[in-house]
Chains A and B, each alone.
Chain A
Amino acid sequence: MPIVQMFNKELAPSQVQALKFGLWIGMASIIMLFGALTSAFLVRRGVGNWYEYKLPIEFFYSTVIIVISSIVLEFCFRALKRKNEKLFKQSLIASFVLGIGFIASQIIAVKNLLSQGLYIDLNVSISFLYVIAGLHALHLLGGLVTFIISILLAFTSEFAVNDMKILKFDLLRQYWHFLGVLWIYLLVFLILQ
């Protein structure tokens, strides 16, 4: 796995700190991205011709799944810090599988919408739902790719914990929690509308 090993490069703590800072900046721009969409949603709704519909029930299952995934990842992070290899690997896989579960529940939600005839071009209120949920799912897929890299690294190289590794793993942890919180924000936003 030479490509995966590229991510195993030794970095100075200051470099990892800088990466973490970069991640926060990235999160700020993601907030702007969704901030723009939700503001556009409000502005557009004010214009009228707005179709009211019920959110698919799978969105609530998604929420439960992503919250559990975050909690499991938190256990995973603690296991890493305590050098508990077994728990680390188990919870890492579990959290990843739950992430897949989130995507699956989103796909089922879309199927549900389609079966009700709520196509993307039916009304702009539904168009927004597809765009917002779809864009969030894309960001989550990015997180899943990071998961895959972490899992491959965990299972192909020796389990050796140091500060640099903890900091690097923290990048995934923070991004994942961020996406969970972002989802909850989006869901609450959609419910309130």
Chain B
Amino acid sequence: MSSGHHHHEQDALIEKYGYDDHFHEHHEGDKFQFNFLTKYIFSMDHKIIARQFLFTGIFWAIIGAAMSIVFRFQLGFPDASMAWLKPILGKWIIINEAGIGTLEPEFYYALVTMHGTIIVFFVLTAGLSGTFSNFLIPLQLGARDMASPFLNMLSYWFFFLSSAVMFYSLFLSTGPFSGGWTAYPPLSALPQASIGSESGMTLWIVSLALFVVSVLLGGMNYITTVLNLRTKGMSLWRMPLTIWAFLVTAILGLLSFPVLFSGFLLLIFDRSMGTSFYLSDIFVNGMALDRIGGSPILYQHIFWFLGHPEVYIIILPAMGIVSEVLAVHARKPIFGYRAMVYSILAIAFLSFIVWAHHMFMSGVNPFLSNFFVVFTLIIAVPSAVKVFNWISTLYGGNIRLNTPMLFCIGFVSMFISGGLTGIFLGNSAIDIQQHDTYFVVAHFHIVMGVAAFFGMFAGVYNWFPKMFGRYMNDTLGKIHFWITLIGAYAVFGPMHFLGMAGVPRRYYLFDKFDAFSGFDDMNKFITIAAIVSFFAQILFVVNFFWSMYKGKRVTSQNPWGSNSLEWTTPIEAGHGNWPGKIPTVQRWSYDYGKDGIEFTQQHVPLRDGEKPSDH
């Protein structure tokens, strides 16, 4: 079948059954993008904005990952000279008379803090959800654009502003904020607490406040678009699971980020107006502060009321992407579509009533903890439903083992491994031993760090042809996958042992502690694995940018044989996505292998005598 012929057939279907909204008669789109600046920089086209989020996310991912390599180097090779990093890190590397360079401990904390902040917020929230919600929501729903393209553009530029402020803070003479990505008071509330708590913290909180605005503007648009601008025939139960995941993610963001904003607001007042929302009984250099009556636990409650939903804001889009990409490349309908949706909703609901499991050891009432333990463990149920459905989708599938598919399978593997250790940590009794150890670090990195990255990679490899009209190199992609998979397990696997032995996280050096001195080799091993994994990511970045210009060209509209609507647009879709009418939807999006036909796209009407497979 020639691609040209196929192309023609598709357009004919849209022409025949499509819906004419007279979009192109108004030329609204063209009016606002007549030059380079309005087309590529201040664009209101969701597809451009998606790519802006992606590029910014990649930029931050490189910085965030590079930071982790520096502090891993400190942990794995504390005696080795870091003088070679002097040209990059400048005064944060102290060189003694013998020429041995050591990392300034204050800066070690700044690196750990920034690594967390950057990866959690800028990469896995903005870079993941910002990219794919923007790109796929209008395309997969048959919409011309977001409900408000203007607010959508603002959403990106608030993120950009937030990024710029945070980036600037890296170069302050007192360094960026260093009190941990959770920014607990009093370290975050008192500028005199440490050098990172000075201007670094001020910029941190300004940056995060701008970030919240970005998330709220974006989320408002995502929800509104999904619920109002679906094309004819696209009922909620016909939507691809990506869209379900993005919708619920946006709802979580809109309900939890304002709470974080409130918490930050009070923190700002504590920092600069002399209030005592979070401060009490504090001594600095032997002198008692006159700030009394505040409660640092109050901050933790507010922070984790966002903080826990935030981990689902990160993982749900990855789950949605994996559900979609897995089905496409297994050439099978997703197993248990409705169960998938209900489990997303259940996870989202539960995510709001488990926040105190981050605070078992910080002085909350142990009896209260019991409720949080129970709800936390219940999350295992919808999570297990999803894992079961992914595996069942793979079972008996006609699997294409290409890069996007490999990353989907890798995601499922990571989600299982990291999910299981969550059951340990969710028990308040076991948490007495495990809290604040490398066991926690291993758990969350696998289940929401690496897993979310795998979902993001699956998405990038899968939708790259739609974004840039070219493929990414599959061989390089597979090398990237295997090194990353093995590397990630090699990094985070051993950390479980460290954690069970009680090795605390965030420590700069362990040579003063006999209990933790036996782990030097393990720390070396982890660091080497981290460096190898890091270089595999450079491979990805090279592949990404090389393929943008030199990759194999896409020659047909629907290269993966996928059912969802984004693949009915022209290879290089312009503003408004479809050149003529909008396709209408005649069926759900997972008709793979139905009646012996490999795939049937959503805008294809039911064949004679065909029963609809709607759920």
A residues lining the B interface (CB < 8 Å) = 12, 14-15, 17-19, 21-22, 25-26, 28-30, 32-37, 40, 43-44, 47-50, 120-121, 123-124, 127-128, 131, 135
- Is B561 part of the contact surface with A, judged by Cβ < 8 Å? no
Q: Does B458 contact A (CB under 8 A)?
A: no
* Cα A17 to Cα B148 with chains together (Å): 11
The complex places the Cα of A48 from the Cα of B485 at a distance, in Å, of: 52
Q: Which residues of B contact A (CB under 8 A)?
A: 21, 147-148, 151, 216, 219-221, 223-225, 227-229, 254-259, 261-263, 265-266, 269, 273-277, 292-295, 298, 301-302, 305
What residue of chain B has the Cβ atom nearest to residue A34's Cβ? B262
Roughly how many angstroms separate A125 CA and B305 CA in the complex, as a whole number? 22
Residues from chain B with a CB closer than 8 A to the CB of A35 are 259
Answer whether A44 and B277 are a contact pair too, CB < 8 Å, given A33-B258, A36-B305, A127-B269.
Answer: yes
Chain A residues closer than 8 Å to B294, beta-carbon distance:
44, 124
Tell me if A121 and B276 are in contact (CB < 8 A): yes
CB distance from A13 to the nearest CB of B (A): 11
Q: B293 to A47, Cβ gap below 8 A?
A: yes
User: B293 contacts A123, CB within 8 Å?
Assistant: yes
Most buried by B among A15, A32, A135: A32
Interface pair A33/B261, CB less than 8 Å apart: yes
**Which residues of chain A are near B224, meaning CB under 8 Å?**
18-19, 21-22, 25
Taking CB atoms, residues of chain B closer than 8 Å to A127 are 269, 273, 275-277
Q: Say whether A25 contacts B220, CB under 8 Å.
A: yes
Inter-chain CA distance A131–B220, complex, in Å, is 25
CA A63 to CA B62, docked complex, whole Å? 52
- CA–CA, A26 and B224, complex, Å: 10
B223 touches A25 (CB 8 A): yes
| Contact assessment for B295 and A30 in the assembled complex, using a CB-CB cutoff below 8 Å | no
Inter-chain contacts of B221 with A (CB < 8 A): 22
- The answer to whether B256 touches A32 (Cβ under 8 A) is yes
List the count of A-B residue pairs having beta carbons below 8 Å apart.
107
Tell which of B225, B258, B269 touches A30, judged by Cβ atoms closer than 8 Å.
B258
Contacts of B255 in A (CB 8 A): 28-29, 32
17 A-B interface contacts by CB (under 8 A): A18-B224, A18-B225, A21-B223, A22-B151, A25-B254, A28-B255, A29-B257, A36-B258, A44-B294, A47-B298, A120-B274, A121-B276, A124-B276, A124-B293, A124-B294, A127-B269, A127-B273
Contact residue among B220, B227, B258, B298 (Cβ-Cβ distance under 8 Å from A40): B298
Contact B220 A26 (CB under 8 A): yes
| Given pairs A14-B228, A22-B148, A26-B220, 14 additional interface contacts (CB within 8 A) | A12-B21, A14-B229, A17-B228, A19-B148, A22-B221, A29-B255, A29-B257, A32-B259, A43-B301, A47-B295, A48-B293, A50-B293, A127-B273, A127-B277
Please name all residues of chain A whose beta carbon is closer than 8 Å to the beta carbon of B295 when the two chains form the complex. 43-44, 47
CA distance A30 to B254 in the complex (A): 9
- Residues from chain B with Cβ under 8 Å of A37 in the complex: 262, 265-266
Closest 5 CB pairs of A and B: A49-B293, A121-B274, A36-B262, A33-B258, A18-B147
Task: Give the CA-CA distance A119 to B302 in the complex, in Å.
Answer: 25
CB distance from B372 to the nearest CB of A (A): 16
Query: Are A36 and B220 within 8 A (Cβ)?
Result: no
- Complex partner residue of A120 from B259, B263, B273, CB under 8 angstroms: B273
Q: Which residue of A lies closest to B259 (CB)?
A: A36
CB distance from A57 to the nearest CB of B (A): 24
Alpha-carbon separation in the docked complex, A48 to B275 (Å): 15
Please classify the interface of chain B as helix (H, G, I), strand (E, B), loop, or mixed, using the class held by over half of its residues: helix
Q: What chain B residues lie within 8 Å of A120 (beta carbons)?
A: 269, 273-275
Identity of the chain A residue whose Cβ is nearest the Cβ of B143 in the assembled complex: A18
Contact of B273 (CB < 8 Å), options: A32, A121, A135: A121
Question: Which single residue of chain A is at the shortest CB-CB distance from B291?
Answer: A121
A28 and B220 alpha carbons, distance in the complex (Å): 10
Contact between B298 and A43, CB atoms less than 8 A apart = yes
Which residues of A sit under 8 angstroms from B259, Cβ to Cβ? 32-33, 35-36
* Known A120-B274, A121-B274, A127-B276; contact A29-B269, beta-carbon cutoff 8 A: no
A26 to B255, CA, bound (A): 10
Quick one: given A14-B229, A22-B147, A48-B293, are A124 and B275 in contact (CB under 8 Å)? yes
Nearest A residue to B275, CB-CB: A127
- Chain A hits for B148, CB < 8 A: 18-19, 22
The CA-CA distance from A123 to B227 in the complex, in Å, is: 45
- CB pair A19–B293 under 8 Å, yes or no, is no
Please, how many angstroms separate the alpha-carbon atoms of A30 and B298 in the complex?
20
Among B225, B256, B262, the one with the most A-chain Cβ atoms within 10 Å of its Cβ is B262
Chain B residues within 8 Å of A22, by CB:
147-148, 151, 220-221, 223-224
Compute how far the CA of A34 lies from the CA of B263 in the bound complex, rounded to whole angstroms.
11
Closest chain B CB from A31 CB (angstroms) = 8
**Which residue of A21, A35, A36, A131 has the most chain B CB atoms within 10 A of its CB atom?**
A36
Instruction: Contact check, A33 vs B228: say whether CB atoms are below 8 A apart.
Output: no
Instruction: Give the chain B neighbours of A19 by CB distance below 8 A.
Output: 147-148, 224
Closest to A121 in B: B274
- Interface contact A131-B265, CB-CB below 8 Å: yes
What are the residues of chain B within 8 A of A121 when measuring CB–CB? 273-276
In whole angstroms, what is the CA distance A33 to B352 when docked? 15
Chain B residues, Cβ within 8 Å of A128:
277
For the complex, give the distance between the alpha carbons of A30 and B212 in Å. 13
Q: Determine the chain B residues whose CB is within 8 A of the CB of A29 once the complex forms.
A: 216, 220, 254-255, 257-258
Contact (Cβ within 8 A) B292 A49: yes
What is the CA–CA distance of A35 and B352 in the complex, to the nearest angstrom?
A: 14
B89 to chain A, nearest CB (A): 38
CB distance from A29 to the nearest CB of B (A): 5
Min CB distance, B561 to chain A, in Å?
32
* Shortest CB distance B65–A (Å): 32
**Chain B nearest Cβ from A44, distance in angstroms:** 6
Residues in A whose Cβ lies below 8 Å from that of B147: 15, 18-19, 21-22
Residue of A nearest to B255 (CB): A32
Min CB–CB distance B377 → chain A (angstroms): 25
CA A190 to CA B275, docked complex, whole Å = 19
CB distance from A149 to the nearest CB of B (A): 14
Contact B298 A44 (CB under 8 A): yes
Contact B293 A40 (CB under 8 A): no
* Chain B residues whose C-beta falls within 8 Å of the C-beta of A21 in the assembled complex: 147, 223-224, 227-228
Complex Cα distance, B490 from A38, in Å, reads 46
Q: Give B261 Cβ to nearest chain A Cβ, in Å.
A: 6
Q: Which residues of A have CB within 8 Å of B277?
A: 40, 44, 124, 127-128
Q: How far is the CA of A44 from the CA of B280 in the complex (A)?
A: 12
Give the docked Cα–Cα distance between A120 and B228 (Å): 44
With both chains docked as a complex, state the minimum distance between the C-beta of A73 and any C-beta of chain B, in angstroms: 23
Cα–Cα distance between A18 and B294 once the two chains are bound (Å): 43
Give Cα A12 to B229, complex, Å: 12
Docked-complex contact A36 and B302, CB < 8 angstroms: yes
Q: Which residue of A lies closest to B293 (CB)?
A: A49
Cβ contacts under 8 Å, B227 to chain A: 21
Q: Return B150 CB to nearest CB of chain A, in Å.
A: 9
Per the bound structure, the CA–CA distance linking A40 and B298 in Å amounts to 7
Residues of A within 8 A of B225 (CB): 18
